[in-house]
């Protein structure tokens, strides 16, 4: 598995078609990006596994709550 980068620009229409998906190093020209490193594993008891979609979605909701609760732009 690899690192996935999902990126978009604020001037985009915020539609699914505006999202650009890339594979590889953490670099994008878009000012908004979500980086998911699928090569890192989660230890679940005695087994290792990739991050699950529901865990990623929960993390995004947590980031959203954090950003709403804190000053923007960050100092």
Supply the pTM of this predicted model: 0.80
Closest CA to 2 of 34, 22, 26, 24: 24
Q: Give every strand in the sheet of 32-37, ordered side by side.
A: 20-23, 3-8, 32-37
Domain residue ranges in the chain: 3-41+50-69
Q: Is the pLDDT of residue 54 over 90?
A: yes
Q: Is the pLDDT of residue 24 over 80?
A: no
Least confident of 20-29, 48-57, 59-68: 20-29
Quick one: the chain helix, strand, coil %, rounded to 5?
25, 30, 45
Q: Is the pLDDT of residue 27 over 80?
A: no
């Amino acid at each position: 598995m690899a690192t996935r980068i999902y990126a978009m620009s604020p001037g985009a229409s915020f539609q699914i078609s505006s999202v650009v998906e890339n594979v590889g190093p953490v670099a994008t020209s878009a000012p908004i990006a979500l980086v998911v490193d699928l090569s890192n594993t989660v230890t679940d008891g005695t087994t290792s596994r990739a991050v699950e979609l529901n865990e990623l979605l929960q993390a995004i909701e947590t980031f959203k709550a954090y950003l709403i609760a804190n000053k923007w732009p960050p100092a």
